[in-house]
């Protein structure tokens, strides 16, 4: 069947089960957009290519499927870069399709020419430049295979305009994609499994560190079964939240820079750590030379390049997490860990009296109040997408996620502007879900133009702007480490209620805790995207905090209130 390269693009997307694509057209990708009119795939016209990248990422994270974003050459392609890097750092399966100038003018600085494969080489799992029509179909199929297999990640396919316009006698290839790859089972030996099981069975103070790999590997139920049988407590990374129920008695909560004090101290006291699907990010370990000094370390990971990258481990187990955990679990014996559980309870010490939730009402609205009330009002069932900053940490601390894929956030790259477009993508993936965007006033303004996309697509989101008039987390660092010299962090914001109104959307303002419930109720009742401007305390601080270069138990904590 004679098909153009552009038609083949949509044929393959349909073959791969793609339901919607997020993108922005331009000259070098016009043939593909022209062929869109012959496809049943829904295209979402974004307001900026960065938005398309985050939407595809949010779609992938919420659904577990491959997200797709497309853009034209030059600035269109480079506008995707932040979103590609975000997907790369958080192991998100996204295929990016970009148009390129015709092959005959590549290298001549032609109009809107950029070597996007060169630009994105370090931030993609793989990328391709396609210059022949006959290569379009096979290359796209390889891209989807690479994006979804092994450790997921972004793949970019750059297609020249002549390859899009050319014709080829094309028949869909239904055979599985075969690519040479090293089996992760190579190091999953019986001896290694037995050694790991022996360490865990004899441990007095074992602890599990669970990351996003638990969800990516489909191992959430296996992990829960393993924990409930062995009674080993679990600490979560930011991206791992939801991989083990937050309200479970053996879930200690988030670890690391803004993790609870008792969690970090338990890690530093443990004698065996079982790290599952996490990569020992520097915000988890603090000073890596002093991380969990007394613990033997076991690392379950699908990507062998993560082994010993930051923390040297005693037993690496490289392989599919479900398979690895399935083989490890029966080998681990159970012991009485009640002394260890009591020790951890004792570590909590005065944490409760430091909690902002227990402080007397000062009349100010605190972000922690907003997040905690939102958790109660939605009964913990909402799909929450956060931006990056203080509100992101408060969300992780105060919204208790019991279910997987219910928190979507930019962890590795820390991308401001991520939340609103990623939430749109998540809503496309999960239209039945109640989706909340929790975003700071700074990050919201970076991609607020995507409110227009919400209107155009008639999509229902709930946007909670945690508005403190500052770039809050940067201000906090200036407070702690730069003698409160607030350089370039105070923000003059637009009226977010009027911004919503300008889009024909409902907007509400909240300045007291007593007003939260009504505003949330009105937003939820609206059939349209609703924006709530929460005017929170300006100089509130995220506690605890581990200062850069310090150990994870060397924390700055909220002062204990002095009672009169």
Q: Catalytic site residues?
A: 49, 111-112, 161, 473
Alpha carbon distance 231, 252 (integer Å): 12
468 neighbors 537 (Cβ within 8 angstroms)? yes
Q: 431: which residues sit within 8 A by CB, 6+ positions away?
A: none
Given the DSSP bridges, would you call strands 383-386 and 507-510 parallel, antiparallel or unpaired?
A: unpaired
Alpha carbon distance 512, 497 (integer Å): 16
Alpha carbon distance 69, 81 (integer Å): 12
Question: Residue 463, SS3?
Answer: strand
The alpha-helical segments, DSSP class H, found in 152-260 are 161-165, 190-202, 213-216, 220-230
Question: Residue 464, SS3?
Answer: strand
Q: What are phi and psi of 132, to 5 degrees?
A: -125, 140
Give, as one character, the DSSP assignment of residue 509: E
Alpha carbon distance 238, 261 (integer Å): 15
111 neighbors 79 (Cβ within 8 angstroms)? no
Given the DSSP bridges, would you call strands 167-169 and 2-4 parallel, antiparallel or unpaired?
A: antiparallel
Alpha carbon distance 395, 384 (integer Å): 9
Query: What is the full DSSP assignment across 473-503?
Result: HHHHHHHHHSTT--TT-B-----HHHHHHHT
List beta partners, residue 275.
209, 299
| Of the candidates 221, 226, 223, the residue with the CA atom closest to the CA atom of residue 236 | 223
Q: Vertex 25, ends 106 and 51: CA angle to 5°? A: 110
Q: 42: which residues sit within 8 A by CB, 6+ positions away?
A: 19, 20, 21
| Of the candidates 409, 429, 421, 478, the residue with the CA atom closest to the CA atom of residue 453 | 421
| Of the candidates 99, 167, 170, the residue with the CA atom closest to the CA atom of residue 133 | 167
Alpha carbon distance 387, 394 (integer Å): 11
Alpha carbon distance 372, 394 (integer Å): 9
């Amino acid at each position: 069947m004679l098909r153009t390269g552009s038609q083949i693009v949509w044929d393959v997307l349909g073959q791969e089960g793609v339901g919607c694509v997020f993108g922005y057209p331009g000259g070098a990708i016009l043939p593909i957009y022209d062929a869109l009119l012959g496809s049943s795939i829904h295209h979402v016209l974004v307001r900026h290519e960065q938005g398309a990248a985050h939407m595809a990422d949010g779609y992938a994270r919420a659904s577990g499927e491959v997200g797709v974003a497309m853009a034209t050459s030059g600035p269109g392609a480079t506008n995707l870069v932040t979103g590609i890097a975000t997907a790369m750092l958080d192991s998100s399966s996204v295929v990016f399709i970009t148009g390129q100038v015709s092959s005959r003018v590549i290298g001549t600085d032609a109009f809107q020419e950029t070597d996007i494969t060169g630009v994105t080489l370090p931030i993609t799992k793989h990328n391709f430049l396609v210059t022949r029509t006959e290569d379009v179909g096979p290359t796209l199929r390889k891209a989807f295979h690479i994006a979804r297999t092994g450790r997921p990640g972004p793949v970019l396919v750059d297609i020249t305009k002549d390859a899009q316009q050319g014709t080829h006698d094309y028949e869909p290839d239904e055979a599985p994609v075969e690519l040479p790859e090293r089996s992760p089972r190579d190091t999953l030996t019986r001896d290694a499994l037995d050694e790991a099981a022996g360490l865990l069975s004899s441990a007095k103070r074992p602890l599990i560190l669970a990351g996003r790999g638990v969800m990516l590997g489909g191992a959430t139920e296996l992990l829960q079964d393993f924990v409930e049988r062995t009674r080993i407590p679990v600490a979560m990374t930011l991206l791992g939240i939801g991989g083990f129920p937050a309200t479970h008695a053996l879930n200690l909560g988030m670890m690391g820079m803004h993790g609870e004090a008792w969690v970090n101290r338990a890690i530093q006291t443990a004698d065996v750590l079982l790290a599952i699907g996490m990569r020992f990010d520097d915000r988890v370990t603090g000073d890596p030379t002093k991380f969990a000094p007394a613990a033997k370390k076991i690392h379950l990971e699908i990507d062998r390049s993560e082994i010993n990258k930051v923390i040297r481990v005693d037993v690496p187990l490289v392989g599919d997490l479900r398979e690895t955990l399935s083989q490890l679990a029966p080998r681990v014996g159970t012991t009485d860990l009640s002394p260890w559980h009591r020790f951890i309870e004792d570590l909590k010490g005065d944490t409760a009296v430091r909690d902002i939730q227990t402080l007397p009402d000062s009349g100010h609205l605190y972000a922690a109040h907003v997040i905690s009330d939102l958790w109660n009002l939605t009964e913990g069932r909402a799909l929450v997408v956060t931006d990056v900053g203080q509100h992101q940490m408060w969300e992780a601390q105060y919204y208790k996620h019991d279910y997987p894929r219910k928190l979507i956030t930019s962890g590795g790259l820390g991308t401001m502007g991520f939340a609103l477009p990623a939430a749109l993508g998540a809503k496309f993936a999960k239209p039945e879900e109640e989706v909340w965007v929790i975003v700071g006033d700074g990050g919201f303004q970076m991609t607020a133009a995507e409110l227009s996309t919400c209107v155009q697509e008639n999509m229902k989101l709930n946007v909670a702007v945690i508005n403190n008039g500052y770039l809050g987390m940067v201000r906090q660092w200036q407070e702690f480490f730069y003698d409160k010299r607030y350089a370039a962090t105070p923000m003059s914001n637009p009226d977010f209620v009027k911004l919503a109104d300008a889009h024909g959307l409902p907007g509400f303002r909240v300045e007291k805790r007593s007003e939260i419930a009504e505003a949330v109720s009105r937003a939820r009742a609206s059939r349209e995207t609703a924006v709530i401007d929460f005017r929170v305390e300006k100089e509130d601080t995220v506690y605890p905090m581990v200062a850069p270069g310090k150990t994870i138990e060397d924390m700055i904590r909220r002062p204990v209130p002095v009672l009169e």
